[in-house]
Amino acid sequence: MSKLIMEEPEYVEANQQYILEDMSVMSDYELNNLCEKFPKTLGKYILKDSEFLNSGKITIEKKEKVLVFSLFTQMLDILEKIFSIHQIKFLRLDGQTTVDTRQDLIDTFYDDKTIPVFLLSTKAGGFGINLVAANNVIMYDQSYNPHDDKQAEDRAHRVGQTQEVKVNKLITKNTIEENMLQLAENKLELDQSISGSDVSESKFEEKAASMFEKILFGN
């Protein structure tokens, strides 16, 4: 691919080794986007829809509405493509969404029963928004600040919610995600403590240091 893309006018004078190095750190999604951008030279590498979906499956089991939160706009881009392939209607709100447009999107999600999914960035969609039309929340990834995730989850726990709210966090076993989840839970417990003692803070910091040491050095 690095050799083929040099046939494109904007890469004709580029260094192939540098291009190869850049490509080696790209995600599959970024590489596929590059192929779609330059179909003349890289078109044969564009993933078919069936191949694109091999990494995950999207199913609708109930006619309930879902909020999907992610910290990364690229992850929202990937989910957007998946929903489009499956012809699942959705709305999206992230940091690029204007303030005026936000309320219109929320109203549409509430009123239109044919739209089951709302994609939101954790930061942009986590504060000051009422989304009681949904009773399912999926946290696709975690923030280092557990309060960001908690605020996002609370979008469905608002006045007017009549259904049980289910929150799902996607955590892969034996990965840094597990350690992040445990740290987040410990941090929330610490914040909820009314004692405010230095001992509790010290214990949390000691536990956090131990976890990061395990992550970095495998001890």
pLDDT at 208: 60
The overall average pLDDT reported for the chain is: 78
More confident residue, 127 or 87: 87
The answer to whether residue 20 scores a pLDDT higher than 80 is yes
Give the pairing of strands 117-121 and 136-139.
Answer: unpaired
Distances (CA, A) of 215 to 25, 38, 72: 22, 39, 23
CA distance linking residue 191 with residue 212, whole number of Å? 20
Measured over the CA atoms of residue 190, residue 191, residue 193 and residue 198, the dihedral's sign is: positive
Domain 52-169: give its CATH code. Answer: 3.40.50.300
Contact (CB, 8 A) for 50 and 82: no
When computed from its CA atoms, the radius of gyration of the chain, rounded to whole angstroms, is 21
Give the pairing of strands 166-169 and 90-93.
Answer: unpaired
pLDDT tens for 61-100 read 567 788 899 989 999 999 998 889 888 899 999 989 988 8
Least confident of 70-84, 135-149, 159-173: 159-173
Residue with tokens 């992040």: 180
pLDDT at 65: 86
pLDDT at 184: 76
189-192-193 Cα angle (round to 5): 90
CB atoms inside a 10 Å sphere around CB 68: 23
Phi, psi dihedrals of residue 32, rounded to the nearest 5°: -65, -40
Q: How confident is the model at residue 126 (pLDDT cuts 50, 70, 90)?
A: low
Contacting residues for 72 by C-beta, under 8 A, at least 6 apart: 121, 141
Q: How confident is the model at residue 52 (pLDDT cuts 50, 70, 90)?
A: low
CA distance linking residue 130 with residue 107, whole number of Å? 10
CB atoms inside a 10 Å sphere around CB 57: 8
Pick the most confident of 44-48, 76-80, 97-101, 150-154.
76-80
pLDDT at 108: 93
CA distance linking residue 107 with residue 53, whole number of Å? 31
CA distance linking residue 51 with residue 209, whole number of Å? 41
Nearest CA to 118 among 153, 69, 77, 157?
Answer: 69
Tell me the pTM.
0.62
